[in-house]
Amino acid sequence: MLRHVSRVAAAARRLARRYGVPLAPVDLAACAHDLAAVVPLREIIPTAEALGVELGGADRLIPQVVHGAVAAAVLRQALGVSDAGVLNAVTYHSTLRADASDLECLVFIADKIAYDPTATALGYHAALVAVRDTAPLRTLCWIYLDWAMRAGPGLGWRLHPHLLAAHAELTPTPSPSPTST
């Protein structure tokens, strides 16, 4: 876990410099994004409820994404972090969401670039790494989201509504074709 968080923090700093995102909130969000990943999956929903985290139906069906909201609650309640940008970046680092800030996008994609080497599904990784130094930040997010939309169901994943909304928002619209006269 520490190795993954260290890789995410390094990837996030690199991306922050490229996209002009302030480093202090990037460092905090990247280092804290998996703070609650140590909570066993069977205990994440009760832990979230004990911390007063609002959970939707999808959160209960896809509890593995709840660790971000639990980490944000710990940051706010136990550590006094009040920066809404940091808290949102931590909360949505697994799914992203529509109308995400640059900080949210950055932590989300740094987490995907600095993947967990024990993960079995990495079909997106080569595409991300190939363009991470040239593509716009939201394009990087879309690459992962589009892969998740296509590959996730075949991997047995349930797709969270936040991920679906982010994908819909970031999907490039086709350019209108020139009309012939």
Give mean pLDDT, residues 116-126: 73
Q: CB within 8 A of 19, min separation 6: which ones?
A: 102, 106, 137
List the domains of the chain with CATH numbers. Answer: 2-170 (1.10.3210.10)
**One-character DSSP codes across 59-117:** HHHSGGGHHHHHHHHHHHHHH----HHHHHHHHTTTT--TT--HHHHHHHHHHHHT--T
Reported as a pLDDT band with limits 50, 70 and 90, residue 118 is low
Reported as a pLDDT band with limits 50, 70 and 90, residue 1 is confident
Asked whether the predicted pLDDT for residue 179 surpasses 70, the reply is: no
pLDDT at residue number 129? 87
pLDDT tens by residue, 55-89: 999 999 999 999 999 999 999 999 999 999 999 99
Centre a 10 Å sphere on the Cβ of residue 127 and count the other Cβ atoms it contains.
15
User: pTM of the predicted model, to two decimals?
Assistant: 0.92
Asked whether the predicted pLDDT for residue 181 surpasses 70, the reply is: no
User: For residue 175, which amino acid is it?
Assistant: S
pLDDT at residue number 180? 52
pLDDT at residue number 27? 98
Q: Cα dihedral sign for 52, 56, 62, 67?
A: negative
Q: CB within 8 A of 33, min separation 6: which ones?
A: 5, 8, 68, 71, 89, 90, 93, 107, 111
Query: Token match 């939707």: residue?
Result: 56
For all residues of the chain together, what is the average pLDDT? Answer: 93
User: For residue 116, which amino acid is it?
Assistant: D
Please tell me the distance from the alpha carbon of residue 111 to that of residue 93, in angstroms, as a whole number: 7
Give mean pLDDT, residues 143-154: 94
Give mean pLDDT, residues 31-38: 95
Asked whether the predicted pLDDT for residue 117 surpasses 90, the reply is: no
Helices then strands, counting H and E runs in the chain, come out as 10, 0
pLDDT at residue number 148? 95
pLDDT at residue number 174? 76
